[in-house]
Structure 1
Amino acid sequence: MRIGADVPGFRSCENCDYNWTSDANQRWILLAAKERGADIFEAFSNSPPYWMTNSNCSSGGQNNANNLNSDYHDKFADYLTEVVKWYKEEQGLTFRTLEPFNEPTTGLWHEFGSQEGCTFTFNYFAMAEVIAKVGAYLNNKGLSNTTSVSIADEGLFEGEMLSIAEISAISIGDHAKSYVSQYNTHSYSGFLRTALFDIAKHDGRRLWMSEWGDWSSKDMSASIKLSEQILNDMRNLKPVAWVYWQVIEHAPNGTYGNDYGLIGADFSNSTIPPDIRLSFYGFAQYTKFIRPGYQIISSDDGDTLAAQDASKKTLVLVCTNKNNASDVWNINVSKFNIGKKSFNTYRTSNDNETLKLLPNTWNITDGILTYESPANSITTWVFNVTQ
């Protein structure tokens, strides 16, 4: 039975040739991102092709059971690395990292489910073996100088820590771990952000927050929740990348609350224009101004993220008022040499403001900028720091 055969893959059966025209929409998004300047790419697997699984289903195993057939560890590693190789040689696109798993121990994935997934709960030996084989195939195909392995995209910080520890403890673990350059974690649940940061730092591995998302809303509530999540992660987990899960998602007839999209689109009706949500602009309050290479610096306010680019002499503060009432902020920038009017201010709020450039009506007096922040708003300050 070919339960998962309708999910596009590059090999539709074990004896089939690779079909590089498969999954055209996803491939278009990938290459369009590259054309528009994206320069760091990661390939990850939600599930092996259905024909490599125990259930013949790419949404998971029977009763959430482990689903990668143990006879296919080699073929799975070969498949993943062959995709990476094809993109590099035929499309000029290099994946910096290759992640064989996605939330492997959460127990969420079961046959006939609505989303691809593959469980590896308490099967850390299989995970270590897949990592080692993926690393070996990258080596054998001449890809290891540009592509390394990332793990484990767990949905729980504590789950990520356990996967790292268990994989490292297995007899082939050191060999497997030698191929790993990056730890990926999802930020949906758990408490031990700082502990996971410490593990990554101790192990000398790059740390990504590789997935988080939440329901859309018509007002600022989704933006505020998104902003608070970023603040908590960046201040405590301290990843070098923070990745939102679903930029655009199907939202028929302009509905809200049933999707994670920063942009809602009715894929069944092309005459309806996409809906750019307030959460899109709330996210842009960070991403438009805190750019790759900026250094996150300390702030004594839990609702403020501070970042600096010393070479460009730029200081960025993103301030979130999560309350239902306005609030007065006294922003101390006395440690920086900033002129009284040498800054710009942008705000997203319920008051028809979407990344709005505000009139520069504030002054810095004795190093303090006083600002009355509207309820449920996100404000970004971009300061020019003089010598």
Structure 2
Amino acid sequence: MSDERVIDPQGAYTWDGWGTCLSWWANTELGTRDDLAAALFRLDTAKVDAAGRTVELPGLGLNIVRYNLGACTWTDGSAMVESPAIVRRKQIETFCDGDAWDWGADAHQRSMLAKARDAGADLFEMFSVSPPWWMTVNGNPSGAERGDQDNLEFQYQKEFARFIAAVARRARDEWGIRFSSVDPFNEPSLNSWHAKQNQEGCHFTLGAQEAVIELLRGALDEQGLGDVLIAASDECHYAGAARTWRSFTEDTRRLVGRVNVHAYERDEGCRSRADLRKAVGEAMPVWQSEYSEGEPDGMAMALSISRDIRFLRPSGWVCWQPVEALDWGLLDGEYDDQTPNPNGGAKGTLKGRVGGVNTKYHVLAQYTRHIRPGARILNSGHTNTIAAHDAASQRLSLVTVNNGAQRTVTYALRRLTQGTDIARVWVTDATDAPGARRYAREPDARSQDGILTLTHGAGTVTTMEIDAV
């Protein structure tokens, strides 16, 4: 099979970068590991300890870091209620128990935050999954008794906003971390957050979201953080994000500096992605702020990235947990806290290790190592190809996912270059078959008179890079 893809700079937009959330994996002792910081946030080859073996990996060069503002404390006399289904690493320690502040809390996650900064990450966002337990209706940071009930006490709405702003100010002044944005919600419209959930969570009605956004803007300004934008609302699905945005008042919309959305809606026809972009308008920045699934080969992830960029046009793309069990991570995480406690009080410690590397780590490298922050995303002419141009280096990068049979693709580059150019090529096979390529450098290809033709094997992700464009 053969097709043609015309690369067109018309309508290009600027790329903020690629990222990851910290949260659960960095809440364990993995948050103290330099090798993981190197693999995730640098571009050099990294040597990672995986179950006692040293594995060499291409650094992903992620530059966006999302920090999870916790909700749990275990101080003497604490009345916090723990879900019987939660495990210890999913309980994030907060900085205030309602009476006193403890800025030494959440040491592991803060450790990785600093390591990411030192490795080169330059965009930081703080997000809340649940208000601190003592601000909730039932003292349980996993949610209210019913999933359709708000769990932030009305009387604490202002205190919640001030709490977020106080931590952002402390991060700027004492941690050397400037959060460019804060998001007070995490999938707030879902009816899934209840007292027996297996993670932290909080439902917010539309009115509660609007109230918190307004109060948060005031609290940030009071702290001298007028340059910190509010992102919202981190809804679980594109369709839900569009409904929330359309339901916000104009006053609320003016307070939101970026729309965040999660990618847990497959949306293979891409109607929901396109509708969300239509709802927010072309000028509103969007981040796909959380993506994950339990498919280790990376094909579903590559298709989701391509669909997002073609139809949603986000400026940032963020994975949820890079080190997670059951094939949900880029790296397989092995933790000792898999058994919840039916009597409350999460079992396990904060120990963890890397057990192995999933193919989708190498699939993500095909994108993150070549489409860099500041590049312009071009119209590629096809959903399965992403085209990006870096003006500083005059480099054109093309990344194509082929989820079908072998296919020969012609890339028409005449609107960018009409000469004869060398294209460097890297390939990852989205399979565990013997001899499968993992971010492997392949023989160079050549474009002639602005035409580049390449044959893509079945089930592959291929990057092509051309200089002096």
State the partner residue of 1:77: 161
Check conservation: 2:421, 2:448, Cα contact below 8 A: no
Which secondary structure state, in structure 2, belongs to the residue aligned with residue 26 of structure 1? Answer: helix
Q: What's the CA shift for 1:243?
A: 1.0
Deviations 1:318-348, CA, capped at 9 Å, x for gaps = 111102x322223333333365452210011
Among residues 24, 28, 36, which one is paired with 2:107 in the alignment?
24
Q: What's the CA shift for 1:275?
A: 1.6
Among residues 189, 195, 206, which one is paired with 1:105 in the alignment?
189
Q: What's the CA shift for 1:381?
A: 0.1
One-letter amino acid of the structure 2 residue matched with residue 60 of structure 1? G
Check conservation: 2:332, 2:354, Cα contact below 8 A: no
Check conservation: 1:184, 1:208, Cα contact below 8 A: yes
Among residues 108, 113, 118, which one is paired with 1:35 in the alignment?
118
- After superposition, the Cα gap between the structure-2 partners of 1:339 and 1:90, relative to the gap in structure 1 and judged at 3 Å, is same
User: Which deviates further from its counterpart, 366-375 or 41-50?
Assistant: 366-375
Q: What's the CA shift for 1:165?
A: 2.7
State the partner residue of 2:255: 179
User: Which deviates further from its counterpart, 179-188 or 229-238?
Assistant: 179-188
State the partner residue of 2:395: 314
Q: Which runs of 5+ in 1 are unaligned?
A: 252-257
Deviations 1:109-157, CA, capped at 9 Å, x for gaps = 111211111011xx2221111111111111111111x312111001122
Q: Distance in 1 between the 2:218 and 2:465 partners?
A: 46
Q: What's the CA shift for 1:12?
A: 5.0
State the partner residue of 2:273: 193
Q: Distance in 2 between the 1:380 and 1:152 partners?
A: 33
Q: Distance in 2 between the 1:93 and 1:270 partners?
A: 26
- 1:1-387 to structure 2, matched below 5 A, reads 1-4=79-82, 7-11=91-95, 13-15=97-99, 17-64=100-147, 65-120=149-204, 123-144=205-226, 146-168=227-249, 174=251, 176-189=252-265, 191-201=271-281, 204-217=283-296, 220=297, 223-249=298-324, 251=325, 258-268=326-336, 274-323=355-404, 325-337=405-417, 340=420, 342-349=422-429, 350=431, 351-360=435-444, 362-386=445-469
Q: Distance in 1 between the 2:327 and 2:460 partners?
A: 22
Paired-residue identity, %? 29
Aligned residues: 363
Q: Distance in 1 between the 2:351 and 2:427 partners?
A: 31
Deviations 1:192-220, CA, capped at 9 Å, x for gaps = 22232233336x43211111111142xx3
Which secondary structure state, in structure 1, belongs to the residue aligned with residue 263 of structure 2? Answer: strand
Check conservation: 1:298, 1:306, Cα contact below 8 A: yes
- After superposition, the Cα gap between the structure-2 partners of 1:213 and 1:132, relative to the gap in structure 1 and judged at 3 Å, is same
Q: Which runs of 5+ in 2 are unaligned?
A: 1-78, 337-349
- After superposition, the Cα gap between the structure-2 partners of 1:357 and 1:243, relative to the gap in structure 1 and judged at 3 Å, is same
Deviations 1:26-65, CA, capped at 9 Å, x for gaps = 1111111111111111100000011111121111111212
Q: Distance in 1 between the 2:181 and 2:406 partners?
A: 44
State the partner residue of 1:255: none
Which secondary structure state, in structure 2, belongs to the residue aligned with residue 199 of structure 1? Answer: helix
Q: What's the CA shift for 1:2?
A: 2.0
Check conservation: 1:304, 1:320, Cα contact below 8 A: yes
TM-score by length of 2: 0.73
Q: What's the CA shift for 1:23?
A: 1.6
User: Which deviates further from its counterpart, 20-29 or 127-136?
Assistant: 20-29
One-letter amino acid of the structure 2 residue matched with residue 91 of structure 1? W
Check conservation: 1:59, 1:112, Cα contact below 8 A: yes
- After superposition, the Cα gap between the structure-2 partners of 1:304 and 1:34, relative to the gap in structure 1 and judged at 3 Å, is same
One-letter amino acid of the structure 2 residue matched with residue 93 of structure 1? I
Deviations 1:145-182, CA, capped at 9 Å, x for gaps = x312111001122221222232316xxxx1x4443211
Q: Distance in 2 between the 1:135 and 1:92 partners?
A: 22
One-letter amino acid of the structure 2 residue matched with residue 187 of structure 1? A
- After superposition, the Cα gap between the structure-2 partners of 1:101 and 1:3, relative to the gap in structure 1 and judged at 3 Å, is same
Check conservation: 1:4, 1:50, Cα contact below 8 A: no
Check conservation: 1:208, 1:241, Cα contact below 8 A: yes
One-letter amino acid of the structure 1 residue matched with residue 377 of structure 2? I
Which secondary structure state, in structure 2, belongs to the residue aligned with residue 103 of structure 1? Answer: coil
One-letter amino acid of the structure 2 residue matched with residue 141 of structure 1? Q
Which secondary structure state, in structure 2, belongs to the residue aligned with residue 198 of structure 1? Answer: helix
Q: Could you say which structure has the greater relative contact order, defined with CA pairs below 8 angstroms and 6 or more residues apart?
A: 2
Q: Distance in 1 between the 2:403 and 2:285 partners?
A: 31
Deviations 1:68-96, CA, capped at 9 Å, x for gaps = 11111011111111111111110121101
One-letter amino acid of the structure 1 residue matched with residue 264 of structure 2? Y
- After superposition, the Cα gap between the structure-2 partners of 1:270 and 1:99, relative to the gap in structure 1 and judged at 3 Å, is closer
TM-score by length of 1: 0.87
State the partner residue of 1:254: none
Check conservation: 1:8, 1:22, Cα contact below 8 A: no
